[in-house]
A and B are shown apart, each in its own frame.
Chain A
Amino acid sequence: MMAAPNFTVSTLRISSGVIIWALHFLAIYGFVALVCARELAGVRWLGIGVAPLAIGVATLIAAAALIAMIVSAMRRGASSFTEWMTAALATLGLIAVVWESLAVLMVPTCT
């Protein structure tokens, strides 16, 4: 749609870190909202409450994806603007994803 695929691809790559953060945030918030609205907080899968389990899985996936982006960008040469920004935004995203997910270890799901 816009200019050469170069620009769209580069923009998506640079912002991939914060896009992954956004998708993770949407997933965990949406899931908890549904669990609490439907009073499913007591449901347990594999011995763990369904909300903490889902959040844990989502966080592992997001963290893996973010680390992959960081590694990929460093490999391509982090001195270039595009790769530096890709790695840096992915790092910021990783910090935010982990920090937000820690809440599940400290706070009851609904109430």
Chain B
Amino acid sequence: AVPVVEAMGVLLLPNMLGARDLPFPRLSAYAFWAYFFGGLTFFCSIFFELAPTGGWFMYPPLTSERFSSGINEDFWLLGIGFIEISAIAGAIEIIVGVLRTRSPGMTLDRIPIFAWAMLVMALMIIFAFPAVILATTLLELERAFGWPFFAPERGGDPLLWQHLFWFFGHPEVYIIFLPAAGMVSMIVPTMAGTPLVGHRLVVLALIGAAFLSFGLWVHHMFATGIPQLSLSFFSAASMAVAIPSGIQIFAWIATFAAGRVKMKTPALFVLGFLFTFVLGGLTGVMIAVVPFNWQVHDTYFIVAHLHYVLFGGMVFPLFAAIYYWMPYTSKHVLSERVGHWVFGLIFVGFNVAFLPMHITGLAGMPRRVYTYPSGLGWEALNLISTLGAFMIAIGVALFLFDVARKFRMSSEDNAGNVWNAATLEWLPNGKYSNRSIPIITSRDPLWDQAHLAEDVEGGRYYLPGTATGRRETILTSPMDAQPQALLLMPMPAWSPLLAALFTAAFFMLLTVKWVVTACVFGVLAVAMLIRWLWETDPGPAYPPAHIGGGIKLPVYLTGPSSHSRWAMGVLIIVSASLYMCLIFSYLFMWTVKPAVWPSLASLPGAGTSIVVAALLIASSAAIHYASRALQRDQRKHVISGLIAAGVGLISALIVEITSQQASGVSATQSSYGALVYAFASIQGFFVVVVVTMALYTCARALSGLLNRERRVTFDNTMVFWHYTVVQGLAGIAVVHGFPRMVGG
């Protein structure tokens, strides 16, 4: 579901924002191919009887090496972990795209709701996905090397997995729902012919839902014996999150009421969505009540609820969106007549299939069973559900038939603005997106700005031609969308595809335990990445360019406004989120298993922490020195600074690991040891990454591609370096400082 909504984002956002393309086209390509190759391999595991068998949520101890000794679960762990890379790359794209590449004049208040929804979704991804990446890493370490994070017999706790997984898992469903809600917020005003009622309230609802959804995760764990008051906080938050959803529902109803609704297929699916999602939300509030939850936990009542919110909240909007945006991307629209039948079959079929499940669940049928004994009163209800499922299938088949008949992809020759919609994606466009980039003065530009379509097509706004002869879009300021720079974009290349293929190969070969071959492909992936990157950071190769309207923009930006710096910033947030989850894991384990914590006497001496901290800080200082040297174009000093910094980071890590080993801490003996070495391993991974970045930067310097004016490559390395140092210091504070603080 996440790839589907990211796909809609990639398809719609640039045009909707008035940009020529997303800011990192090759990163989008990499993300797609990573999902393509990784996803294909992962799903094909079923044909080799290697499909994961631990449920989508993969709870240990069932999924530990002891009870699942094959490689099935490793497909999940390494496959999903790898697909997360794809999602995070997409999230970076969307965040930087929505914030930095909008039409001039498209202030925050004028951004289309779908763009807000995608921005919010992408921010949620960068906070939520690291939790599951950490969880999968820890479980894989436990399975492969015996580090007991979740094994109770050695001080681990299976509940740690559940916390990490559901901290991802609950926001995940909002990551799926919010973009769908964003799509509905675009479709409803068009179908009603009137602006969205409560625009700012809807933006509030999106941001509010995004934050609050991070406070719900324990509602998937109500039956685990967590204290009552703790459960109650999550119960209350799970009810509170209905407020933002409710705000949006009322906004849509009010918009329909304020206008004159055209009962076209998109409107029908929106109505279906409203009915279904509201029902699902109501059962959701029921399940938020802890005692009721205890009754229906693991029954078909939950299955009914989740399908009402997911099918209602995502699938119906998706069908609405496909019918709605078909004219934008295809020569022909889909048939209205067939569309009414498709809607009828799917809507009725869905309710016939899933409404009875509320009763089936209350009648006691458990989830996740493939058969059941007769005479429990479930047969008739399940038969009705089966009939409904077939109805859905017929509806979908009819839909696919119509798509095959009508869908002919085209941007130049598309069916056009058949709905008389208000937003920029409906401007005449071609493969280059819009003929010129307009100035926006309204939330509904095509309704409020007279002659906008003809003026854009006639080249009367910015960039009617290309200023440098290359693919360009305008980089704008995040709040008020003032033009800041011209963004040059790359041409298609093989390197992102190959990098994705080799990364997928690396992960999949690790899964089948061909470690050496995997490493070969890992190196090849990095090589492709370097080939891709080598063409970036062009420096000020062009003089400031005229974009029209008397505005001249620089063609290269360094410093905090550079779009690649923003990408690094997002990556740093991802990394910090992962590390915070690790710190949570440590504190959680200390809370529930204090017995395995070491006494003060058996900790490495305080001197170690001081030495490690000093080496880390020295490493940052060396980078700072290199940065200053770059300002003075002293190439040798830049390189020596980078090398010194690398030595600092690596030695800090070696000192830490050896001191722990010398104190007798073992990664396999207890969860405490496993966590200590997990801190070191993750820091080690980051050290490898930044040292590779430093070597790459040195290569650029030695090739004459890095200097005072052309320093984005160095700056990106620098910020990620400082982050790695801070992360290392945080690790020392936790691993060495915390046990001393609580008295051992």
Interface residues of A (CB under 8 A from B): 1-4, 6-7, 10, 15, 18-19, 21-22, 25, 28-30, 32-34, 36-38, 51, 81-82, 84-85, 88-89, 92, 95-96, 99-100, 102-104, 106-111
A-chain residues with CB within 8 Å of residue B479 when the two chains form the complex: 6-7, 10, 82
Contact A1 B569, beta carbon cutoff 8 Å: yes
Contact B207 A109, beta carbon cutoff 8 Å: no
Contact B240 A99, beta carbon cutoff 8 Å: yes
B-chain residues with CB within 8 Å of residue A89 when the two chains form the complex: 204, 207-208
- Does B239 belong to the interface (CB within 8 Å)? yes
Contact A88 B233, beta carbon cutoff 8 Å: no
Q: Which residue of A lies closest to B231 (CB)?
A: A107
Given A4-B560, A88-B200, A102 and B229 contact (CB-CB distance below 8 Å): no
**Chain B contact residues: over half helix, strand or loop, or mixed?**
helix
Contact B233 A102, beta carbon cutoff 8 Å: no
Contact B230 A29, beta carbon cutoff 8 Å: yes
Within the complex, what minimum Cβ distance (angstroms) separates B568 from chain A? 9
Contact B237 A2, beta carbon cutoff 8 Å: no
B-chain residues with CB within 8 Å of residue A81 when the two chains form the complex: 107-109, 200
A-chain residues with CB within 8 Å of residue B572 when the two chains form the complex: 1
**Chain A contact residues: over half helix, strand or loop, or mixed?**
helix
B185-238 interface (Cβ within 8 A of A): 200-201, 203-204, 207-208, 211-212, 214-215, 227-230, 232-233, 235-237
Contact A22 B232, beta carbon cutoff 8 Å: no
Contact B478 A3, beta carbon cutoff 8 Å: yes
Contact A15 B232, beta carbon cutoff 8 Å: no
A-chain residues with CB within 8 Å of residue B41 when the two chains form the complex: none
Within the complex, what minimum Cβ distance (angstroms) separates B196 from chain A? 15
Contact A2 B565, beta carbon cutoff 8 Å: yes
Task: Say which size band chain B's interface belongs to.
Answer: 35 or more
- Does B592 belong to the interface (CB within 8 Å)? yes
A-chain residues with CB within 8 Å of residue B107 when the two chains form the complex: 81
B551-568 near A? 1/0 per residue, CB < 8 Å: 000000000110001100
Given A7-B479, A33-B227, A111-B227, A1 and B560 contact (CB-CB distance below 8 Å): yes
Q: Which residue of B lies closest to A36 (CB)?
A: B227
B-chain residues with CB within 8 Å of residue A21 when the two chains form the complex: 211-212, 215
A-chain residues with CB within 8 Å of residue B569 when the two chains form the complex: 1-2
Contact A85 B207, beta carbon cutoff 8 Å: yes
A106-B228 Cα distance, complex, nearest whole Å:
10
Given contacts A2-B566, A81-B107, 14 further A-B contacts (CB under 8 A): A3-B477, A21-B211, A25-B237, A28-B233, A29-B230, A32-B229, A85-B204, A88-B200, A89-B208, A96-B212, A96-B240, A99-B236, A109-B229, A111-B227
B-chain residues with CB within 8 Å of residue A111 when the two chains form the complex: 227-228
Contact A107 B228, beta carbon cutoff 8 Å: yes
Q: Which residue of B lies closest to A96 (CB)?
A: B240
- Does B243 belong to the interface (CB within 8 Å)? yes
Task: Tell which of B109, B204, B235, B561 touches A103, judged by Cβ atoms closer than 8 Å.
Answer: B235
B-chain residues with CB within 8 Å of residue A10 when the two chains form the complex: 479
- Does B719 belong to the interface (CB within 8 Å)? yes
- Does B371 belong to the interface (CB within 8 Å)? no
A33-B207 Cα distance, complex, nearest whole Å:
28
A110-B561 Cα distance, complex, nearest whole Å:
50
Task: Tell which of A3, A29, A34, A110 touches B233, judged by Cβ atoms closer than 8 Å.
Answer: A29
Q: Which residue of A lies closest to B210 (CB)?
A: A18
A25-B587 Cα distance, complex, nearest whole Å:
16
A93-B276 Cα distance, complex, nearest whole Å:
28
Within the complex, what minimum Cβ distance (angstroms) separates B453 from chain A? 27
Contact A103 B227, beta carbon cutoff 8 Å: no
Contact A1 B228, beta carbon cutoff 8 Å: no
Within the complex, what minimum Cβ distance (angstroms) separates B605 from chain A? 28
Contact B228 A110, beta carbon cutoff 8 Å: yes
A38-B230 Cα distance, complex, nearest whole Å:
14
Interface centre among A36, A85, A96 (most CB of B within 10 A): A96
Q: Which residue of A lies closest to B111 (CB)?
A: A81
A7-B592 Cα distance, complex, nearest whole Å:
41
Within the complex, what minimum Cβ distance (angstroms) separates B159 from chain A? 11
A89-B203 Cα distance, complex, nearest whole Å:
10
- Does B591 belong to the interface (CB within 8 Å)? yes
Task: Tell which of B207, B227, B230, B243 touches A18, judged by Cβ atoms closer than 8 Å.
Answer: B207
Within the complex, what minimum Cβ distance (angstroms) separates B474 from chain A? 15
B558-601 interface (Cβ within 8 A of A): 560-561, 565-566, 569, 572, 587, 591-592
- Does B244 belong to the interface (CB within 8 Å)? yes
Given A33-B227, A81-B107, A18 and B237 contact (CB-CB distance below 8 Å): no
A-chain residues with CB within 8 Å of residue B560 when the two chains form the complex: 1-4
A-chain residues with CB within 8 Å of residue B208 when the two chains form the complex: 18, 89, 92
Q: Which residue of A lies closest to B477 (CB)?
A: A3
Within the complex, what minimum Cβ distance (angstroms) separates A24 from chain B? 10
Pull 20 A–B residue pairs with CB atoms less than 8 Å apart, ordered by A. A1-B565, A3-B560, A18-B207, A29-B230, A32-B229, A33-B227, A33-B230, A36-B227, A81-B107, A81-B200, A84-B200, A85-B207, A92-B204, A92-B244, A95-B243, A100-B240, A103-B229, A106-B232, A109-B228, A111-B227
Within the complex, what minimum Cβ distance (angstroms) separates A38 from chain B? 8
A37-B229 Cα distance, complex, nearest whole Å:
13
A-chain residues with CB within 8 Å of residue B201 when the two chains form the complex: 88
